Amino acid sequence: MNIDSIHSGIVLDHIKAGRGMDVYRFLKLDELDCPVAYIRNVRSNALGRKDIIKIDSEINVDLDVLGYIDPGITVNIIKDGKLVEKKKLSLPENLINVITCKNPRCITTVESALDQHFVLKDRAKGLYRCRFCDAERKSKALR
């Protein structure tokens, strides 16, 4: 298999095997007009298996969304063919308009103009609570 290196863009590495497509969909990478490589089940010494996504364009990436999907992702910023920055992610403290409240009595289900705001309550369990009604949601990464 031959995957070209990228000149300027982003490499999302250490994605938990099987989570790469979630990242791909959340970032709407199918809508980009640039080369995007999605590599599944790559051997990894640290993880056993992992997914990798290479985006050959400088795009804005919501690190909170990525951290929610998989806090183990490493974001590598590439410029002129060289690694210029490496970011390690973690579960974000706040999620705004990333997940929705499932409580039918929550004010956010009635007032569509309100942001869906969740706050991290338990990092070890990946537990988030709605800021308005305290309904719980668990991070996708820890399911």
Q: For residue 65, what pLDDT is reported?
A: 84
Q: Decide which of 88, 107, 123 is a domain's last residue.
A: 88
Global pTM reads: 0.81
Q: Are residues 33 and 100 in the same domain?
A: no
Instruction: Give the pLDDT confidence of 132-143 residue by residue, as tens digits.
Output: 999 999 886 655
In a domain, 75, yes or no: yes
Q: Are residues 78 and 113 in the same domain?
A: no
Q: Are residues 104 and 79 in the same domain?
A: no
Exposed e or buried b for every residue in 81-114, given b needs 16+ CB within 10 A? eeeeeeeebebbeebeebbebeeeebebbeeeee
Q: Are residues 138 and 84 in the same domain?
A: no
Domain range for 61: 9-88
Number of domains into which the chain is organized: 2
In a domain, 2, yes or no: no
Q: What are the phi and psi torsion angles at 20 (to 5°)?
A: -60, -40
* CB 79, CB 8: distance < 8 Å: yes
What value does the mean pLDDT take over residues 12-23? 91
CATH number for 47: 3.30.70.140
Residue 76 pLDDT more than 90? yes
What value does the mean pLDDT take over residues 54-59? 90
Q: For residue 114, what pLDDT band results from cuts at 50, 70 and 90? A: very high
Q: For residue 2, what pLDDT is reported?
A: 55
Q: For residue 4, what pLDDT band results from cuts at 50, 70 and 90? A: low
Q: Mean pLDDT, the chain, as a whole number?
A: 89
What value does the mean pLDDT take over residues 121-142? 88
C-alpha to C-alpha distances, 81 to 8, 14, 46, 104, 137, nearest whole angstrom = 6, 20, 25, 49, 40
